[in-house]
Amino acid sequence: MPFDPIIAEIRFGVGLSPSIAPPASVDDMMVRLRGPDESAARFVIPFWADATPSPRDFHDLSQIRRAARGTDREEEAQEQLRAMRDVARDQRAVDFGAQIARAVSTKDGLREWLTRFWADHFTVRSVSGTTRHLVAPYVEEAIRPHVAGRFSDMLRAVATHPMMLVFLDQHVSMGPNSRTAQRRNRGLNENLAREMLELHTLGVSGAYDQTDVRELAELLTGLSYSAQSGFTFSDAMAEPGPEVVLGQSYGGGEPRLDDVFAVLDDLAAHPDTARHIARKFAVHFVADDPPLGLVDALARAFGQSGGDLGVVTEALLRHPAAWACKKQKVKLPFGFVTSGARALDIDPDALAAMSYNEGRRAFLGHLAVMGQPWEMPFGPDGWPEDSAEWITAQGMAGRITWAMTAPARLRDDLPDPREFVYTALGPDADPAVAFAAQAAEDRVSGVGLVLASADFQRR
């Protein structure tokens, strides 16, 4: 099966829309992906470095409150801190609204999908209440600019990013023989090094062992962060001497950030990384158990292009297995609700303007019941891929509930369910869904049945 515009939009985009034409060809998709990021320009999410309130803002205000303790200014400082938390919470709602609005209005759905895939590959979770609104800015800064660029550039951006350093404890890791560790009686933390090998690059079946984890952890020391000064490479925290990772020796002179970049580049170029990424890509976009030929083709594209993710994406889209008629994957809850809002043609500007409470009632609360509490995956491996993990009694209760209640909340003039079937599912909609839609007692349940159907939940 060659290219098909309906499959392109459902499987590699963000779903069909009554007002936006699907892409016409693979070339068309790639031109859009390699062109300017129009959605990001229209619905702005700040880069991490520009987002407010910043960790430094919180830090400074906490200092002021501490200094005011016991004085009559304490109450005022406390109040300012509360106000700052509210601003942060509202900013998180704005960024969430922007993501929904982008999905609903984009002509470049592939970019939205890829952004979510890579953000999940390099999952971070906020570890304190004061950084919860900074997850989306992390993705905007470290992930999104690289989705059609080089994997090694994304890896560098992520591995030096404050969100990742804090999430995986790297900012407190120091070489056992470093100056700071000697003075403060602290030392190494393996967390980031292990996940970098296991999750980000070679994969758990890759050719590394505990010694590599340890040596990499020692090499990564020096990557540091604090709220006051942001990301720094601290040679006082770095382990002196060379480290041997996967048989290759790094560093040895004065500790330098370039030694870290050198190992990151080598990990990015490792054949096990190509294989791991290829398989994950195929599993995410095509099938829980993808054809081996597809995985091979993607791994080859990754290897031959030096990890150019645009080339890997194009190899996926040029492969016949990508266009199989059968929808083998289940949409994750976020993909489900955004494709639902897109099919319903909800005004993106209204979505972008949702308050925290509106966003929670229409989307965020539901996502949690469906098993995807927003930006709070359970571990550094991100969200599960296996369809059976999502389509559980609990998850289905959440999906059906959203399908039956959210559309009426988002629009007071719901479409005719008999037409909505084809808007949402395309001309080849499952006849059983068409039957159910016309047999429904009212528009709410008719539209709800279409959105709740297996045909709509799959991609």
Evaluate whether 264 touches 155 at the Cβ level (below 8 Å).
yes
| Residue 278 token pair | 């290829």
To 10 degrees, the CA torsion angle through 310, 311, 315, 316?
-20
Using CB under 8 A, which of the segments 39-47, 311-319, 356-364, 428-436 binds another protein? 428-436
Q: Does 31 bind another protein (CB under 8 A)?
A: no
Using CB under 8 A, which of the segments 21-29, 33-41, 131-139, 442-450 binds another protein? 442-450
Residue ranges in 319-338 that form contacts with another protein under rule CB under 8 A: 330
Supply the minimum distance, in Å, between the C-beta of residue 193 and another protein.
10
Q: Does 295 bind another protein (CB under 8 A)?
A: no
Using CB under 8 A, which of the segments 59-67, 89-97, 108-116, 180-188 binds another protein? 180-188
Query: How do 248-250 and 243-245 pair as beta strands?
Result: antiparallel
Q: Does 452 bind another protein (CB under 8 A)?
A: yes
Q: Does 381 bind another protein (CB under 8 A)?
A: yes
Helices (H), 191-321: 191-195, 210-220, 257-269, 271-285, 292-304, 309-318
Q: Using the minimum distance from each CB to another protein, give the nearer residue, 353 or 439.
A: 439
Q: Using the minimum distance from each CB to another protein, give the nearer residue, 56 or 458.
A: 458
Place of tokens 């910043």: 54
Residue 54: in which H helix or E strand, if any?
none
| Residue 305 token pair | 């292009």
Q: Using the minimum distance from each CB to another protein, give the nearer residue, 229 or 392.
A: 392
What single letter denotes the amino acid at residue 212? D
Residue ranges in 340-369 that form contacts with another protein under rule CB under 8 A: 368-369
Q: Does 455 bind another protein (CB under 8 A)?
A: yes
Q: Using the minimum distance from each CB to another protein, give the nearer residue, 93 or 181.
A: 181
Helix and strand totals (H; E) in the chain: 26, 4
What CA–CA distance (Å, rounded) separates 223 from 165? 8
Evaluate whether 39 touches 108 at the Cβ level (below 8 Å).
yes
Q: Using the minimum distance from each CB to another protein, give the nearer residue, 64 or 391.
A: 391
Peptide bond preceding 22: is omega within 30 degrees of 0, i.e. cis? no
For 136-167, give the secondary structure using H, E and C.
HHHHHHHHHHHCCCEHHHHHHHHHCCHHHHHH
Supply the minimum distance, in Å, between the C-beta of residue 317 and another protein.
26
Using CB under 8 A, which of the segments 14-22, 104-112, 165-173, 342-350 binds another protein? 165-173
Q: Does 376 bind another protein (CB under 8 A)?
A: no
Supply the minimum distance, in Å, between the C-beta of residue 198 and another protein.
5
Q: Using the minimum distance from each CB to another protein, give the nearer residue, 26 or 165.
A: 165
What CA–CA distance (Å, rounded) separates 426 from 420? 9
What CA–CA distance (Å, rounded) separates 21 from 33? 16
What CA–CA distance (Å, rounded) separates 163 from 184? 24
Q: Does 395 bind another protein (CB under 8 A)?
A: yes
| Residue 359 token pair | 């966003």
Q: Using the minimum distance from each CB to another protein, give the nearer residue, 77 or 181.
A: 181
Cα–Cα nearest to 160, from 267, 264, 270 = 264
Supply the minimum distance, in Å, between the C-beta of residue 456 and another protein.
9
| Residue 44 token pair | 């702005």
Count of all residues that appear for the chain in the document: 459
Residue ranges in 396-425 that form contacts with another protein under rule CB under 8 A: 396-398, 400-401, 404
Q: Using the minimum distance from each CB to another protein, give the nearer residue, 70 or 379.
A: 379
Instruction: Select the residue interacting with another protein from 392, 416, 418, 428 (CB under 8 A).
Output: 392
Instruction: Write phi, then psi, for 377 (nearest 5 degrees).
Output: -65, 160
For another protein, how many residues bind (rule: CB under 8 A)?
59
Q: Does 19 bind another protein (CB under 8 A)?
A: no
What CA–CA distance (Å, rounded) separates 159 from 413? 47
Q: Using the minimum distance from each CB to another protein, give the nearer residue, 111 or 329.
A: 329
Q: Using the minimum distance from each CB to another protein, give the nearer residue, 318 or 360.
A: 360
Using CB under 8 A, which of the segments 18-26, 57-65, 277-285, 435-443 binds another protein? 435-443
Supply the minimum distance, in Å, between the C-beta of residue 165 and another protein.
12
What CA–CA distance (Å, rounded) separates 80 from 102? 33
Instruction: Select the residue interacting with another protein from 393, 412, 413, 427 (CB under 8 A).
Output: 393
| Residue 320 token pair | 């016949």
Q: What is the binding site for another protein (CB under 8 A)?
A: 169, 172-174, 176, 181, 185-191, 194, 198, 204, 209-210, 330, 368-369, 371, 373, 378-379, 381, 384, 387-389, 391-398, 400-401, 404, 430, 432-433, 435-436, 439-441, 445, 448-450, 452-455, 457-458
